[in-house]
Structure 1
Amino acid sequence: MIYNDPRPEHIRGTIYFSALILFVGYQCLNAFVPNADLILATRTLAVGFYTAVLYIYGPDAWRALTAPKPKRSDFLIVGIWVSFASHDAQSLYSILYRLAPSQWLLNSEVVSPIVLLAVIGAILHISAPGAVDGTVPRRNRMALGFGVGIATIMVAVLLVTRPDIGPLLERTRPWIGDWWSTGALIGNPASGHG
């Protein structure tokens, strides 16, 4: 079983090391590669990792789905698989959109089911309290009800009001736009300085 591996793992060390490698690699590339290309590269990298998760968890997820009496931990395993299937599909879709941008693709009918797949994964995670060692995840019906209630209210408010957040987002451009001003580097044909 995935959760009973006897090897000691250091979660924080894995997070720190991964974050350091990814941050340094990203910043080294970010100084020279335009944001559009770097976003495409990170989405492609993500697809590779997400697909690896699907492959590794696939047999356990299938066993859990076909078990006559699934254990609580099986809900988590299937939830992981379904969530990463959604992330994988969203990243693949983002890659397609970046390679062939068009309004109909942005508003395609397949986007919502792909996103809702992640909601199913979340439901599976929430519906298995005490699945690991009898304590993880914790049972908290109030948090579940609060989360679902807030989400429902937000959906209704956004669909009814359709707020124009363009001016607000425009104010964030200096902070989240292009930190390295990659498109303005001398020698870059797109900058006009070349």
Structure 2
Amino acid sequence: MSGLSQIGRSQTFWIGTTVIFSYWVVAPWLDTNSQTEWLRAILISVGLTIVVAYTPGVIKFLITPSPVQAQQLTMGIVVAWFGTAMAGIYLLLWRMAGQPPWMVNNDLNGWWLWWQIVGGVLHLTAPRSIENEIPRPNFARLWVALLAGIALGYTVAVMKPDAAGFVDKLRPYISDALRAPDNTG
């Protein structure tokens, strides 16, 4: 059987493709601001759930005398999704605080992107990881992530809490403390 016909028979491929493009069935009728907040909230909860699900595997690999080759892929999953979730939290705080410019021009944005890049590099350089044991999907965790995303989305998009005071209290620790020295002058 050719590779193309095998892909054509793959339920995973067709379900995944349908779910991905179903976004465009709904997106044109939603307010972009609320939609972004909801999607970011779900992304955060899914990301943190992935971190929680895969971290025991990373710990097991780190304490096992003979590590398996899948450890690099598993670690890449944890690192990349941690960076994604933290960037999502930071962006939600930024939106909830009225989008203060100082939060955009900040090294913390680069820090979360760096986590994602390092995670991606670990994925790309993981030797023969598909042949080894990778944590099985856990639908209970998926439901917890979905419900947490809905709760966070409701809090941000519907209740619209004002995070300006909270974010202002963080400013001395983020804005000034994480600034690289100015070597231009």
1:83 to 2:84 alignment: no
Question: Normalising by structure 1, what TM-score?
Answer: 0.55
Q: Among 87, 92, 97, which residue is 2:89 paired with? A: 92
- CA drift of 1:20 comes to 5.5
Preserved contact between residue 64 and residue 75 of structure 1 (Cα < 8 Å): no
- CA drift of 1:112 comes to 1.4
Which residue of 2 is the match for residue 121 of structure 1? 119
- Cα distance change, pair 115–20 in 1 and its aligned pair in 2 (3 A): closer
The DSSP-based 3-state class of the residue aligned with 1:132 is: helix
**1:1-194 mapped onto 2 (5 Å cutoff):** 10-19=11-20, 22-24=23-25, 26-27=26-27, 30-31=28-29, 33-100=30-97, 101-133=99-131
Deviation string 1:7-57 (CA, Å, 9 cap, x unpaired) is xx9421441353355444x33xx42x4211211111111112112212221
Moved over 3 A (4+): 20-24
Preserved contact between residue 70 and residue 127 of structure 2 (Cα < 8 Å): no
Preserved contact between residue 69 and residue 128 of structure 2 (Cα < 8 Å): yes
User: Which whole-Å CA distance do the structure 2 matches of 1:91 and 1:130 have between them?
Assistant: 31
The DSSP-based 3-state class of the residue aligned with 2:131 is: coil
- Cα distance change, pair 14–81 in 1 and its aligned pair in 2 (3 A): farther
Question: How many matched pairs?
Answer: 122
Q: Which has the higher helix share?
A: 2
- Aligned residue type for 2:44: V
Higher relative contact order (CA closer than 8 Å, sequence separation 6+): 2
- CA drift of 1:96 comes to 1.0
Deviation string 1:124-158 (CA, Å, 9 cap, x unpaired) is 12332322238xxxxxxxxxxxxxxxxxxxxxxxx
- Cα distance change, pair 11–91 in 1 and its aligned pair in 2 (3 A): same
- Cα distance change, pair 66–11 in 1 and its aligned pair in 2 (3 A): farther
- Aligned residue type for 2:33: A
Q: Could you list the runs of 5+ residues in structure 2 that have no partner in the other structure?
A: 1-9, 133-185
- Aligned residue type for 2:36: I
Question: Normalising by structure 2, what TM-score?
Answer: 0.57
Q: Could you list the runs of 5+ residues in structure 1 that have no partner in the other structure?
A: 1-8, 135-194
RMSD: 2.3
